[in-house]
């Protein structure tokens, strides 16, 4: 047995988001986001036609849920404010019901010694702003800055950990390349413009936070997916992996932490006439407003090889520069279709330590989605999810190794607290420490992993 002890004041917790947990209720004043809009237009695209109004009912279960957070060992918890709940039209009037809800949630967390980590954008563009172009429209950056200022004014006296965006590459991929987020179009030029405006909005929010003399920290949450070449001795494979890393990781990591864009990515995009439209002052703003804290979401690696065959798209795509490599013998989560590669979390942390000034960071998401977890319910009604315990344990071992080697990683948050609604997949895969029974009035039951996590957090480590 080896003892894995973590630093004092390590953040143990989980992550969620407003649009995936809050739901909608009569009189709540929430405006439509792109998810509400898309579900109204095409409900058949959503697994079992379950839409964003049927989430885990966080809006009406604050005290119960915070008690469950406490029971599962949380000393911290990340969720998001929904832009379309707080400011239903995207700009202008603030929704008083939303202010009351977020105040109650924040206060209840703090009263239970659980530090709120609050993110301000989790894929939930207000529908009114999307009708004007969403992130392709520079005016959205202005609206976002005002929204961020409103958040800081209303909640900054108690919230000391802020994040501008969660996984900003995902609206780029889903909305403008691979059609799994609204508006589900394929246009590389728009995708690059969206990425730039998201990054600019992040810098604008950080500048506003500091101008307002807020006394916490502000960062961004990035899903870092390490790109491994098929053959490290093959120059073409290495170059392909470097492009994938630049496009999907460093496009946000470098400007967020270093204040500048990767020169290789700029050169590659310039060569195909795909650079975004921007103003000279934008780059200076990004340079001068880097993050205090980095959230790292890690789920899977990306295996890359040089392009060998034509891809299926007839328009310019990132895949012009690389091809995915199906590595033999890899360990898989068969439900989600993702490779399980625990060392990737260590490689992410090592990269941050060696190449990004060892900026303070934490694992902001890591988790395992599984279908039909009711197969594992015991006679007491508890889901015995030993596979999740194994998954988290094996990743935490590599987080511990990174710490031993000097990584400045401050915590670990699993995705997620309670089984939640997950975009087009709805409830197809379950991720939580706590099971959700929507058919039984949203009944919550702590899984075996939740009880295990309480022990880990209480002991600030584990033996394995």
3-state secondary structure 202-247: HHHHHHHHHHCCCCCEEEEEEECCCEEECCCCCHHHHHHHHHHHHH
Q: What is the pLDDT of residue 311?
A: 87
Catalytic residues: 365
Domain that holds residue 333: 3-463
Whole-angstrom CA distances from 173 to 179, 186, 256, 294 are 8, 9, 19, 21
User: Packing angle between helix 263-271 and helix 235-245, nearest 10 degrees?
Assistant: 100
Q: What is the mean pLDDT of the chain?
A: 97
Please list the pLDDT of the chain residue by residue as tens digits (464 residues): 899 999 999 999 999 999 999 999 999 999 999 999 999 999 999 999 999 999 999 999 999 999 999 999 999 999 999 999 999 999 999 999 999 999 999 999 999 999 999 999 999 999 999 999 999 999 999 999 999 999 999 999 999 999 999 999 999 999 999 999 999 999 999 999 999 999 999 999 999 999 999 999 999 999 999 999 999 999 999 999 999 999 999 999 999 999 999 999 999 999 999 999 999 999 999 999 999 999 999 999 999 999 999 888 899 999 999 999 999 999 999 898 899 999 999 999 999 999 999 999 999 999 999 999 999 999 999 999 999 999 999 999 999 999 999 999 999 999 999 999 999 999 999 999 999 999 999 999 999 999 999 999 999 999 99
> In 218-334, which ranges are continuous DSSP H helix?
235-245, 251-257, 263-271, 280-288
Omega cis (within 30) before 416: yes
Q: What is the pLDDT of residue 71?
A: 98
CATH number, domain of 216, equals 3.20.20.80
How many separate domains does the chain show?
1
Handedness of CA 304, 309, 312, 316 (dihedral sign): positive
Q: What is the pLDDT of residue 137?
A: 98
CA angle 62, 64, 67 (to 5 degrees): 105
pTM > 0.75: yes or no? yes
Q: What would the pLDDT profile of 31-79 be if each residue is shown by its tens digit?
A: 999 999 999 999 999 999 999 999 999 999 999 999 999 999 999 999 9
Q: What is the pLDDT of residue 189?
A: 98
Q: How far apart are CA 440 and CA 454, in angstroms?
A: 25
Give yes or no for a contact between 374 and 381, defined as CB atoms under 8 angstroms apart: no
Whole-angstrom CA distances from 36 to 20, 24, 122 are 12, 10, 14
Q: How far apart are CA 296 and CA 300, in angstroms?
A: 12
Q: What is the pLDDT of residue 312?
A: 86
Closest of 450, 448, 454 to residue 383, by C-alpha: 448
Query: In the numeric block, which tokens belong to residue 46?
Result: 């959503």
């Amino acid at each position: 047995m080896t003892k894995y002890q973590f630093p004092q004041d390590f953040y143990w917790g989980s992550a969620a988001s407003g649009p995936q947990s809050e739901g909608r209720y009569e009189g709540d004043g929430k405006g439509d986001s792109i998810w509400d809009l898309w579900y109204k237009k095409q409900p058949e695209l959503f697994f079992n036609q379950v839409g964003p109004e049927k989430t885990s009912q966080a809006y009406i279960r604050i005290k119960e849920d915070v008690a469950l957070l406490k029971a599962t060992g949380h000393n911290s918890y990340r969720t998001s404010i929904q832009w379309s709940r707080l400011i239903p039209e995207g700009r202008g009037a603030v929704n008083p019901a939303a202010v009351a809800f977020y105040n109650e949630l924040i206060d209840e967390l703090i009263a239970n010694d659980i530090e709120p980590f609050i993110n301000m954008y989790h894929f939930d563009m207000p529908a009114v702003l999307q009708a004007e172009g969403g992130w392709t429209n520079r005016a959205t950056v202005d609206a976002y800055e005002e929204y961020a200022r409103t958040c800081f004014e209303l909640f900054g006296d108690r919230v000391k950990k802020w994040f501008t965006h969660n996984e900003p590459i995902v609206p780029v991929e889903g909305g403008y390349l691979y059609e799994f987020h609204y508006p589900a179009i394929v246009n590389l030029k728009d995708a690059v413009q969206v990425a730039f405006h998201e990054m600019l909005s992040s810098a604008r929010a950080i500048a506003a936070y500091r101008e307002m003399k807020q006394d916490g920290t502000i960062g961004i949450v990035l899903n870092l997916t390490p790109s491994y070449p098929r053959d490290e001795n093959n120059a073409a494979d290495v170059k392909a992996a470097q492009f994938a890393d630049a496009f999907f990781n460093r496009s946000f990591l470098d400007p967020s932490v270093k204040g500048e864009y990767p020169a290789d990515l700029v050169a590659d995009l310039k060569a195909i006439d795909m650079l975004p439209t921007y103003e000279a002052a934008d780059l200076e703003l990004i340079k001068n407003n880097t993050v205090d804290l980095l959230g790292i979401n890690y789920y899977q690696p990306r295996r890359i090889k040089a392009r060998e065959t034509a891809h299926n798209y007839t328009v310019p795509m990132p895949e012009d520069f690389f091809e995915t490599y199906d590595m033999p013998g890899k360990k898989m989560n068969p439900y989600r279709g993702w490779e399980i590669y625990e060392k990737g979390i260590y490689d992410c942390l090592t990269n941050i330590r060696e190449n990004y000034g060892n900026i303070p960071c934490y694992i902001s998401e890591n988790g395992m989605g599984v279908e039909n977890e009711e197969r594992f319910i015991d006679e007491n009604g508890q889901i015995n999810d030993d596979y999740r315990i194994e998954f988290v344990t094996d990743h935490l071992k590599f987080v511990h190794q990174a710490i031993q080697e000097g990584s400045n990683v401050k915590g670990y948050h699993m995705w997620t607290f309670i089984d939640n609604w997950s975009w087009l997949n709805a409830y197809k895969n379950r991720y939580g420490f706590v099971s959700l029974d929507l058919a039984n009035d949203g009944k919550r039951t702590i899984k075996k992993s939740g009880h295990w996590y309480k022990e880990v957090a209480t002991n600030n480590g584990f033996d394995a």
